[in-house]
Chain A
Amino acid sequence: MSYPLLSGDQAVEHRPLAAPPPAPAPASGRLGGAGTRLLAGPPPEAGWERLADHMARLGALDVRRYDPADLRSMVSESGLLGRGGGQFPTAAKLGTVASRGDLGPVVVVNASEGEPASRKDSVLLEYRPHLVLDGAEVAARTVGATEVVVYAHRARRRAFGTVAEALDERRSGPYHFRLVDAPPRYVAGESSAIASFLSGTGALPRGGAPVAVYGARGRPTLVDNAETVAHLALIARFGPAWWRQAGDDRAPGPTLVTLAGEVASPGTVLELLRPVSVGGLLGATGSGAVTGPAPRAVLLGGYEGTWVDGPAAMAMPLARGAAALGGVRLGCGLVAVLAEGACGIATTARLARWLAGESAGQCGPCRIGLPAIADGLETLATGRSTKSDLRHLWRLTAQVRGRGACGHPSGVVGLVESALETFSVEVREHLRGAACLPATRGFPLPVVRRP
């Protein structure tokens, strides 16, 4: 599918005169696939889309011809929710920063993708960098910023290199872009940590005023995930009504997911156009097909996401809004499949140990509590826990939830509690002395750095 080209005059209208046809499309699509929005365009073999090709396909986007208030109402109508994990309404953030537009706001495209197994933001940067950069210009125009920071990890080399080349193609643009190498820590992708880093202090989360009010060097700062920003580019071009044809009412628009774990091709990034069950997702897409027997469980939303029992996940409608109905957030869009026979407790113990090491170490409950939680899970997984140890573990999680300057401790607690509930059968076996190792095959385990 290709987008209709808009002439310059039509672009001033900033409503598509001929809206792109609704996708008679599959529920999900991969890069270059029919019906896709973000991933539409040339297939992956063609490499990243250069500025000239991007403009030829989608039409030029001169954001200076848009009225900021119009842009804001378009985003508001779209109902776009942030795609980084928090699912915060983007229009609200834009409004807060725009209301302080006289204080020299900064726009940050958060492409750090600190989730080790997630690939969706990297895929966008590697193949459609100009869609992200267009969206950044839309955001900058909306809030009245002249400075845009692209915050990405140099370690994700192809993504970082591609966006650097793409920025070279835009030297003449109206906005001053900076590509900034994000420090290597899970919490370094949190919005207040980014603001601290750009202020010249370490990438440490802080409490207090939202970064939209008081951010980088004290300026109001819009921190939006790379996928969120790419959606802005489509909404500004083709209008919120077209954009809302994908997704569902609670969370409109298409959404990207990364498949990981016990699937045929881990690391595949797909664009969901409407709610689809995990079973449908894994079955319908060749590369997603479950390779072994039915999975034991699925981890949704990243390492600080939620474990869902395999059969329940197979039937659960997977969309930002629909999944949120069951209390499960799609978060960063990671769908990680744990094979039947693999131990979810031992696997979660490894995740918890890694996440404990990723703490910035500022807040006591996080610095002390997370390693204690990881200890408790490891003891349980190796069959050395008593019932009273398990009760102690639950007390620890309750004590850590909601504490600290950022969402990190709460995220770990959410993961651990969902593991204790989802893997209750395994927990009972461990209490009887069964010992397990983490799933080494078929699950994306982080490498724990020993201090």
Chain B
Amino acid sequence: MATPPATTTSSWSLHLDGARCDGHGICAVCCPERIYLDAWGYAVTSPSPLHEGERSLARARRAVAACPAGALALVPSPRSRRGPALPGAVA
């Protein structure tokens, strides 16, 4: 639940906003090692961190830039938690 640290970071993870993803699929072409498409064409991202200097990070940046829906972002890693903003609470 902590806010992302304000300091500069050397590792990142891909964050997907599922509500924005429209299944264009460009991201999976840009960064196939971290993003794949499900049976309906919507993106699924790997939660593992990307480190500064890795080629995967460069490809992930390209994927973020290419997303027409603006659904992808690189956020400082480690993420405090994956998934919904606050757990549960759909009731």
Contacts of B22 in A (CB 8 A): 364
Q: With A93-B1, A365-B40, A403-B18 as given contacts, are A192 and B90 in contact (CB-CB < 8 Å)? A: no
Main secondary structure of the interface of A (DSSP, over half): loop
Cβ contact within 8 Å between A86 and B19? no
A402 close to B (CB within 8 Å): yes
Q: With A189-B91, A302-B91 as given contacts, are A363 and B21 in contact (CB-CB < 8 Å)? A: yes
- The size bracket of the interface on B is 20 to 34
Chain A residues within 8 Å of B, Cβ to Cβ: 82, 84-88, 92-93, 96, 110, 113-115, 118, 186-187, 189-192, 204-213, 223, 225, 302, 304, 331-332, 360, 362-366, 368-369, 399, 402-408, 410-411
Cβ contact within 8 Å between B86 and A88? yes
Contacts of B19 in A (CB 8 A): 204-207, 360, 362-363, 404-405
> Once the chains are docked, how many angstroms separate the CA of A110 from the CA of B1?
20
Chain B residues within 8 Å of A, Cβ to Cβ: 1-3, 15-19, 21-23, 38-42, 44, 82-91
Cβ contact within 8 Å between A190 and B89? yes
Nearest CB in chain A: distance from B83 CB, A: 6
Nearest CB in chain B: distance from A431 CB, A: 23
Chain B residue nearest in CB terms to A186: B90
Q: With A85-B90, A190-B90 as given contacts, are A407 and B84 in contact (CB-CB < 8 Å)? A: yes
Q: Determine which of A87, A225, A405 lies in contact with B18 in the assembled complex, contact meaning CB atoms within 8 Å.
A: A405
Cβ contact within 8 Å between A189 and B21? no
Instruction: Known pairs A118-B91, A406-B84; list 18 more (Cβ under 8 Å).
Output: A82-B89, A85-B91, A186-B90, A192-B86, A206-B17, A209-B3, A212-B1, A304-B90, A331-B88, A364-B18, A364-B40, A364-B42, A366-B18, A402-B83, A405-B19, A405-B84, A407-B89, A407-B90
Q: With A364-B40, A365-B38, A407-B84 as given contacts, are A191 and B18 in contact (CB-CB < 8 Å)? A: no
Cβ contact within 8 Å between B85 and A211? yes
Contacts of A225 in B (CB 8 A): 89, 91
> Once the chains are docked, how many angstroms separate the CA of A92 from the CA of B1?
8
Q: With A205-B84, A365-B42 as given contacts, are A411 and B1 in contact (CB-CB < 8 Å)? A: no
Contacts of A223 in B (CB 8 A): 86, 89
Q: With A204-B19, A364-B21 as given contacts, are A211 and B86 in contact (CB-CB < 8 Å)? A: yes
Nearest CB in chain B: distance from A421 CB, A: 21
Contacts of B17 in A (CB 8 A): 206-208, 405
Cβ contact within 8 Å between B23 and A213? no
Contacts of A211 in B (CB 8 A): 85-86
Chain A residue nearest in CB terms to B39: A399
> Once the chains are docked, how many angstroms separate the CA of A212 from the CA of B2?
10
Contacts of A411 in B (CB 8 A): 90
Q: With A212-B1, A362-B18, A368-B40 as given contacts, are A332 and B85 in contact (CB-CB < 8 Å)? A: no
> Once the chains are docked, how many angstroms separate the CA of A143 from the CA of B12?
31
Q: Determine which of B1, B38, B82, B84 lies in contact with A399 in the assembled complex, contact meaning CB atoms within 8 Å.
A: B38
